[in-house]
Chain A
Amino acid sequence: MAQSITAGQKWWAGGKSPFNVEYGKLMMWYFLMSDAFTFGAFLISYGTIRFSSNSWPNPNEVFRTFPFIGEMKIPLAFVSLMTFILIMSSVTMVLAVGAGHNNDRKGVMKWMFFTILGGLAFLSCQAWEWTHLHSEGAWWGRNPFMNIDGSQSSTNFTNFFFTITGFHGFHVFSGVIINIIMLIMTWRGDFDRKGHYLMIEKAGLYWHFVDLVCFYLL
């Protein structure tokens, strides 16, 4: 892969990889593009419905609870915590990729472990949030929350919330599974034998993407 192009050579004249990334990584980027558009379609349809409604529930009121503390005066505190967990696990993922660059097996395993931990923490938070909302009577097709102006709300709000966070949660879940597989492969020394840790980089790309999508969910 390490192809340096000397002056006067052309990238597209053939005989070299014009993007200078390996095949799998490029395909991962393209997959992420298509996945971004899937998430985009969800978010845009949510936005369109939101903009075409006269009123809507106030998310600051709905998502105000915090586990074990109960009602908080701080709106969206729990959501911010979840975002922070994902940012942290993104950082540990980069560090795992960095350790992979140096063929440092111990380092990769350590950082992958923390990344998986972060993913599981996020999933537990989401499970709590869903359980909590469900106990308040919210589910697909059921919306106990009033609009911000006190009028009756349609089920659009809960439908979109559960669909989009569910889709995202499924992505995080797949990411955790992939990361666990990567961890096992690292532990078995598969990447040492291959001589590179590029698989980790690809899993890392996926992970960051999942993290990124999270920002847009609320």
Chain B
Amino acid sequence: MEHSQTNTAAVPHDEHGFSTKAVWRTFWILLIITVVELALAILYYETDFLPKHFLNGIFIIGTLAKAFFIIAEFMHLRHEIKNMIMTVGIPAMLFIWFLTAFLWDGNSYKNLRNAYDRNHLEQSKIPAKEPQAKKPGAVE
């Protein structure tokens, strides 16, 4: 019994059963989130009906939700043991710091540079010299 786990890997673990119904339910959730996001993007493109930052927030939440459903259901993590979930989940929390710190830093760099390097600010406002002459359709 003590050393049994090393060579019983051949036994499929059936304590977390597999259900096709759950897979399709997850699929519909993912599809609905994607369609809603796309609809919002199109609406924004046509009408500017919402502030952009608010919309970006919705997209971020939608994407996180999709990530959660894929990891939890498709990759089956939700049905693993709690220790296993934490060993994957807790390091992933580093991304929170990763994102805030670096985006904040980029933004602060931009502000500092604009404040102390007027030349850079002026240069970055000059319109492009050749407005897509030989690439029709690239940008209106």
Chain A interface residues toward B at CB < 8 A: 1-4, 11, 14-23, 26, 29, 33, 36-37, 40, 44-45, 47-55, 57-58, 60-62, 65, 71, 74-77, 80, 83-84, 87, 90-91, 93-95, 97-98, 101-103, 136-137, 144-147, 149-153, 194-198, 201, 204-205, 208-209, 211-212, 215-216
Contacts and interface: CB of A to CB of B under 8 A. Distances in A.
A90 B74 contact: yes
Interface of B is mostly: helix
A84 B34 CA distance: 8
Contacts of A195: 10, 12
A36 B11 CA distance: 30
A87 B5 contact: no
Contacts, number: 191
Interface in B18-43: 18, 20, 23-24, 27, 30-31, 34, 38, 41-42
B135 interface: yes
Contacts of A196: 10-12
B137 interface: yes
Nearest to A80: B38
A1 B9 contact: yes
B126 A151 contact: yes
Interface residues of B, number: 71
Interface of B: 1-5, 8-15, 17-18, 20, 23-24, 27, 30-31, 34, 38, 41-42, 45, 63, 66-67, 70-71, 73-76, 80-81, 83-84, 87-88, 91-92, 94-95, 98-99, 102-103, 105-107, 109-110, 113-114, 121, 124-129, 131-132, 134-135, 137-140
A101 B22 CA distance: 15
A98 B87 CA distance: 25
Contacts of B94: 37
Contacts of A102: 18
B139 A40 contact: no
Nearest to A101: B18
Contacts of A201: 76
A36 B129 CA distance: 40
Contact of A198 (B4, B12, B30, B80): B12
B63 A71 contact: no
Contact of B74 (A57, A144, A208): A208
